[in-house]
Structure 1
Amino acid sequence: MARQLARGMGSFFKPCDCSKPSRCPHAYTIRFRDARGKQREETGYRTQDAAVERLTELYADRKKTSPSVAEARRELGQQTIEEYAQTWLPRQRKITEYSTAKTLASHFRAQINPVIGSRKLNSVTPTVVEDFLDHLEAEGVGRGHQLNVYRALSALLRDAFEKGATADNPLRGVQKPEYAPQRVAIPDAEYIARAIQVADYKLALEIVLMVGCGLRNGEARAVNVNNIVADDVYRVTEQVHSSTHQLAKLKHRKEGEFREVPLPRTVKNTIERFAKEHGTTEDGYLLRGPKGPFSEPNERYRVLKLFTALPPAEGVGMYSFRHFFASNALGNGIPITDVAEWMGHTSIQVTYRTYRHLMPGSITKAAMVLDEQLRAVV
């Protein structure tokens, strides 16, 4: 039975057949009248307090909202997530800190719309969002990717909430996925030498740029002889995007921004030797011309062929070659602030969380160094 509140506020109930509804795990549904006097229902409230709080907010909002504004909000709230995304995505002109516009759209196409895209905005509650995150976890989606998908969904829901499509914040109390990177696998020098030997000549150059300069895969594929700005400095200006396979801006950078990285003599010699033996495009690219040659199936085949020929090594993949750069730098006393900048991380915290195990004695070493001067004054 629905339990009535104060007159005009509506009611809340559990639409289940449990013998003791107040103790069963099913969510509460609320029933109320909107500003136009039409009866509506929302579900997904875990407790009576949450249901009553929502009814109270709706009642207060109805008192101060004109029928015309309420109708506009109602129509907006009747849109599904997928429908709203169709008009919302083109308005996301700015590239976010974490995603390009194309990546943002792909999160809706691949993960969000198939699961909750048909749900109306006015029915989205924190419980709905939490259940969606549980679905991603159950499907084995990695925590890092979960976080990116959540950011896309939460940005849309926040926009809808601000425009009145949802009277209550659908993100209230929702805990975003926590991304804790696993301990990275770092190949040794012998393994890297073998990889360069068995890889095809293009992939071998990518590996050299990753282990020697700390470049990402896509950045290595965009290698350009014109980016050698000094004998020991390489300027990273662009990447081959992993989805479009076209030249694109750097990750976590705006259009036109770049970073400069150390260019070891061995890497410089490798680049120059490659250019001499295989040539360059008229714009100086070694691996990629204006129209190719990268494609996703081709890339997967080249990488699969490489690691099939190499000795099995748990956790080692293409990105492990970039990890070697960090290991080599930090292990030889190069400051982590410099390493973070060269690798293009968004913050030093990313570098520290990923590679802190490479500096196990840093605190002990610091205590010993500081003690040298303290002995004379303490």
Structure 2
Amino acid sequence: MATVFQKCKTDDRNKRYPCEKTRCGHPWTVRFREPGGRSGRQREKSFPTRREADSHGVNMEGAKLDGTYIDLKRGAVPIRVYATEWLERQHLAANTYGTYERAFRLHVFPFMGGRLLTSIRPSDIEALGKEMTDGGLSAYSVQAYITPLKAVYTAALHNGDIGRHPFVGAKLPTLPRRVMDETLLPSGGQVQDIADEFRSEWALSVWLMAGCGLRTGEMLGLRVGDVLDDRIRLRRQVTRVKGTVGAVLGPLKHREEGEWRDTPLPMNLSDAVGDHVARHGTGPSGSLFRNITGTLVTTSDYSTQFRKVVKTLGYEWSPHDLRHWFATTALSKGLPLLDVSRWLGHASIKETADTYGHLTPDSTSRAVEVMNEALNQHRAD
């Protein structure tokens, strides 16, 4: 059990010893052991009053009994040190690792890197978010850059290094709804114009993104063996890694290494892939697209070329707008939201619904028919 005493009356090494006053006003010390019985380390903490010392002793003993005891000294580490060590232990895709490293280096560490892990409060998290917003970052960027710090605190909580999560109760910039305005996307004819204007060996890429809903990196990572009879089996994407020159292949977004997903392949695009290979050959390991040096195309090089083509036509679309074209076309024609979400590789159907849900055909009239028929069968006159 915890012991509460005054060192001025019991410890001859104390500068106030011996203190003979009954109410001297000197500090009270609580002494207790960490979990582990007699093998647990002995701890002491001083308080101005006996009431505070008694309360702390009761709390420590209770925490040992219910398994919630936290050694505060374990969290007395600068955030810069703790987060850096945490990041090095993680198994992350190369591009995710790069994003986390930039978040720490450019935003988190300059703002609070020297603070102790245990010293951060919800108000500090809110101040960090405001610092980013005032620096010109959007709400989406703030959320993205603050995500690794949140993961660090979650890990510290699970590891018993802190007793509370500072993100609980912290208010960060609200994310606006990402509702897609389909009127701002290219028409089918304009997609064809972009493909026609593109360099011939990359023209197929335009229709693969528009007709299959691929991300740019997924399209650039395609190989001949990924093209099946009526679908494309996506296994990898092209990404960039800090310190590495050129494109690097990594796992799909929201997937682990070796995981894959299928997306439907229209018949005319299947034929187009065969024509493309016959005319232009393949790149490394059978890749469908390569640059003039014969190596993989980086997403930045492709985006630059795409925007030049679009600008020549008098428009301002990005490659990602072709993926939006796929989603809006599929949903407006009545394809199930769940299937479209799966084909797009979204983390959840909520993301798909929030972005494209307004494009699904109105089911009101069909619902009236269904319920009328059901009620007519079972409702008494």
Cα 1:222/1:64, change in 2 over 3 Å: same
Report the counterpart of residue 38 of structure 2 in structure 1: none
Deviation of 1:75 after TM superposition, in Å, equals 6.3
Report the counterpart of residue 212 of structure 2 in structure 1: 213
How far apart in 2 are the matches of 1:340 and 1:275?
Answer: 30
Deviation of 1:209 after TM superposition, in Å, equals 0.8
Q: Which moved more, 1:333-342 or 1:185-194?
A: 185-194
Aligned pairs (5 A) from 1:36-51: none
Cα 1:168/1:341, change in 2 over 3 Å: closer
- 8 A Cα contact 1:36 1:71, kept in partner: no
Give the AA of the match of 1:218. G
- 8 A Cα contact 1:214 1:343, kept in partner: yes
How far apart in 1 are the matches of 2:80 and 2:282?
Answer: 45
Q: Which moved more, 1:221-230 or 1:364-373?
A: 364-373
- C-alpha deviations, 1:193-217, integer Å up to 9, x for none? 1211222335432221111111111
Deviation of 1:246 after TM superposition, in Å, equals 0.8
Cα 1:373/1:286, change in 2 over 3 Å: same
- 8 A Cα contact 1:331 1:359, kept in partner: yes
Cα 1:80/1:279, change in 2 over 3 Å: same
Partner SS state of residue 228, structure 2: strand
- 8 A Cα contact 1:240 1:247, kept in partner: yes
The structure with the larger Rg is 2
Aligned with 1:150 (options 138, 146, 149): 146
Q: Which moved more, 1:165-174 or 1:333-342?
A: 165-174
Cα 1:175/1:71, change in 2 over 3 Å: closer
- 8 A Cα contact 1:218 1:239, kept in partner: yes
Deviation of 1:274 after TM superposition, in Å, equals 1.5
Aligned pairs (5 A) from 1:12-23: none
Cα 1:9/1:91, change in 2 over 3 Å: farther
Identical pairs, percent: 27
- 8 A Cα contact 1:81 1:118, kept in partner: yes
How far apart in 1 are the matches of 2:290 and 2:61?
Answer: 63
Deviation of 1:115 after TM superposition, in Å, equals 2.6
Aligned pairs (5 A) from 1:1-378: 73-74=72-73, 76-77=75-76, 79-93=77-91, 100-163=96-159, 165-175=161-171, 178-184=174-180, 185-230=184-229, 232-243=230-241, 245-281=247-283, 283-288=285-290, 292-295=295-298, 298-312=301-315, 316-359=317-360, 361-372=362-373, 374-378=375-379
Alignment RMSD? 3.7
5+ residue gaps, structure 1, are: 1-5, 11-34, 40-53
- 8 A Cα contact 1:249 1:256, kept in partner: yes
Give the AA of the match of 2:116. K
5+ residue gaps, structure 2, are: 1-24, 30-42
Partner SS state of residue 154, structure 2: helix
Give the AA of the match of 2:135. E
Give the AA of the match of 1:341. R
Aligned residues: 326
Deviation of 1:368 after TM superposition, in Å, equals 3.7
- 8 A Cα contact 2:283 2:295, kept in partner: no
- 8 A Cα contact 1:208 1:267, kept in partner: yes
How far apart in 2 are the matches of 1:55 and 1:206?
Answer: 70
- C-alpha deviations, 1:11-61, integer Å up to 9, x for none? xxxxxxxxxxxxxxxxxxxxxxxx65589xxxxxxxxxxxxxx99997766
With the length of structure 2 as denominator, give the TM-score of the two structures.
0.73
- 8 A Cα contact 1:58 1:167, kept in partner: no
With the length of structure 1 as denominator, give the TM-score of the two structures.
0.73
